[in-house]
C-alpha cells in the first residue's frame, strides 16, 4: 500500500500550475500576514489532514481525500480542451462540473462557514430544549435563581462565545452532487482577458448575480437563480463562465480590462486568505489587503453569539 497523503491541498496543484510562470512558480499573497511570496504549487495552499478526520478507532478516514484525487485526475484530462475553447461532451462536462462542485465545497471558506452554521443550529437546539424545561419547571413552581441565571446567559449573544471544530464543516461536501448537476445544466462560455492578468484564490468557485432586479432585503441569489453567474478562472487570461443564457453556450467573448479587474475583485472578496497570480503585481496585493475580512456567504438571518471555528477542540 502507498503511504497516505498528509499534506492535502485546498487548491489542487494541477490547477495552480496553469497560473505559473515558465519556471513553474507563481505568486501567493496572504492577506493575514500581508506577505507575497513566489513559490510552486506544491509548496502553497495546503494543510495537514484537512480532509481526513479521525474516526472513533483513532484511524484517519481518507474517503474525501481519495475521492478528490479521482475527481482531480479526470478534470486534469479535460482542462486542455477548455483552454483550447472546445465544447465538452456531456460526459466530460459532468466530470468537470464535479470538479467545480468539490472545489466549492473543499475551500477553507466553505468549511468554516458550514461549521459556523452547524454551531448556530446546535445552539438554537439547546435554547429550545432549555426553554421547554424552563416552562415545565415554572408550571410546577420549581424555578430557582440558578435556572434564571443560566437562561439569561444562554439567551445573551454578548455574554459568551462558542467554539466549533472545523471538521464539522466537512458536511459541505453533501451539497456537491446537487451543485454538480446544476452546474452541468448551465451554459458554459469563455471570457478572454488580453490586457489584465486574472487571479484565482483559495475559494475560487462562487456565484454572483449578473443582472436582474435587486434582491429583497435578507434574500440572496441561489445558483438556480436565472441571473446567477460562476466566473471560474482557468488561467491568467481565461475565465470559464457558467450562467443560464443558452445563447452563450461555448462561445468566446473578449473580457475588457475593467471587467477583468471586476473579476479579480470578486476573487479578492470571496477568498479566505490567499490570492494566486502569475506575475508580481502591487495592485493585486493591494486588492488582497483591501478585502482582508473572510467572506461570509451563508447568512441564516438570526443573530447568534460569536462562533469561532477552530482546527481542534
pLDDT single digits (tens) 23-47: 999 999 999 999 999 999 999 999 9
- Output the pLDDT for position 218: 43
> Residue 306: pLDDT above 50?
yes
Neighbours of 223 (CB within 10 A): 19
Q: Give, in order, the Cα–Cα distances in Å from 252 to each of 92, 167, 192.
A: 19, 40, 7
How many whole angstroms separate alpha carbon 193 and alpha carbon 298? 31
CA atoms lying within 13 Å on the CB side of residue 171: 12
Return the higher-pLDDT residue of 152 and 281: 281
- Residue 254 Cα to chain centre, angstroms: 27
Taking only the tens place, the pLDDT of each residue in 114-142 is 998 888 888 888 888 989 999 999 999 99
Minimal CA–CA distance to 38: which of 19, 55, 51, 52? 19
Burial 247-279, CB ≥16 within 10 A → b, else e: eeeeeeeebeeebbbebbebbbbbbbbbbbbbe
- Output the pLDDT for position 213: 67
Q: Which residues contact 59 (CB under 8 A, 6 or more apart)?
A: none
Domain boundaries defined on the chain: 7-112+166-304
How many whole angstroms separate alpha carbon 127 and alpha carbon 121? 10
Taking only the tens place, the pLDDT of each residue in 285-299 is 999 999 999 888 766
- Output the pLDDT for position 130: 87
pLDDT confidence band for 250 (50 / 70 / 90): very high
Minimal CA–CA distance to 272: which of 179, 207, 206, 191? 206
> Residue 13: pLDDT above 60?
yes
Percent of the chain clearing pLDDT 70 (strictly above):
93
Of the candidate ranges 82-91, 115-124, 267-276, the one whose mean pLDDT is the lowest = 115-124
> Residue 269: pLDDT above 70?
yes
- Output the pLDDT for position 28: 98
Minimal CA–CA distance to 295: which of 164, 207, 165, 179? 207
Flag whether the pTM goes above 0.75: yes
Minimal CA–CA distance to 273: which of 7, 60, 28, 26? 28
pLDDT confidence band for 89 (50 / 70 / 90): very high
Taking only the tens place, the pLDDT of each residue in 192-205 is 999 999 999 999 99
How many whole angstroms separate alpha carbon 181 and alpha carbon 186? 9
Taking only the tens place, the pLDDT of each residue in 194-244 is 999 999 999 999 999 887 666 554 445 689 999 999 999 999 999 999 999
Rg, C-alpha atoms of the chain: 22
Strand pairing class (252-254; 187-192): parallel
CA atoms lying within 13 Å on the CB side of residue 84: 8
Average pLDDT over residues 181-192: 98
Task: Write out the three cell numbers for 126.
Answer: 439547546
Say if CB 79 and CB 14 are below 8 A apart: yes
Amino acid at each position: 500500500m502507498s503511504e497516505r497523503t498528509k499534506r492535502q491541498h485546498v487548491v489542487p496543484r494541477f490547477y495552480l500550475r496553469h497560473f505559473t510562470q515558465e519556471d513553474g512558480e507563481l505568486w501567493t499573497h496572504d492577506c493575514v500576514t500581508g506577505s507575497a511570496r513566489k513559490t510552486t504549487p506544491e509548496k502553497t495552499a495546503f494543510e495537514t489532514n484537512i480532509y481526513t478526520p479521525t474516526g472513533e478507532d483513532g484511524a484517519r478516514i481518507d474517503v474525501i481525500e481519495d475521492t478528490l484525487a479521482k475527481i482531480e485526475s479526470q478534470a486534469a484530462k479535460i482542462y486542455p480542451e477548455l483552454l483550447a475553447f472546445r465544447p465538452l461532451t456531456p460526459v466530460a462536462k459532468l466530470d468537470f462540473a464535479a470538479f467545480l462542485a468539490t472545489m466549492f465545497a473543499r475551500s477553507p471558506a466553505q468549511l468554516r462557514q458550514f461549521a459556523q452554521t452547524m454551531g448556530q443550529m446546535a445552539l438554537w437546539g439547546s435554547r429550545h430544549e432549555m426553554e421547554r424545561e424552563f416552562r415545565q419547571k415554572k408550571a410546577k413552581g420549581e424555578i430557582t435563581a440558578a435556572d434564571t441565571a443560566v437562561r439569561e446567559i444562554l439567551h445573551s449573544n454578548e455574554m459568551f462565545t462558542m467554539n466549533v471544530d472545523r471538521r464539522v464543516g466537512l458536511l459541505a461536501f453533501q451539497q456537491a452532487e446537487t451543485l454538480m448537476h446544476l452546474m452541468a445544466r448551465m451554459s458554459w462560455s469563455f471570457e478572454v482577458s488580453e490586457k489584465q492578468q486574472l487571479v484565482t484564490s483559495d475559494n475560487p468557485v462562487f456565484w454572483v448575480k449578473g443582472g436582474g432586479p435587486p434582491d429583497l432585503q435578507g434574500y440572496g441569489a441561489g445558483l438556480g437563480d436565472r441571473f446567477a453567474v460562476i466566473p471560474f478562472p482557468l488561467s491568467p487570461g481565461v475565465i470559464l463562465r457558467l450562467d443560464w443564457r443558452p445563447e452563450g453556450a461555448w462561445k468566446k467573448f473578449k473580457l475588457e480590462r475593467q471587467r477583468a479587474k471586476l473579476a479579480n475583485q470578486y476573487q479578492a472578496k470571496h477568498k479566505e486568505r490567499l490570492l494566486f497570480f502569475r506575475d508580481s503585481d502591487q495592485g493585486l496585493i493591494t486588492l488582497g489587503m483591501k478585502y482582508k475580512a473572510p467572506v461570509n456567504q451563508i447568512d441564516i438571518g438570526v443573530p447568534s453569539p460569536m462562533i469561532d471555528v477552530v482546527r481542534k477542540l
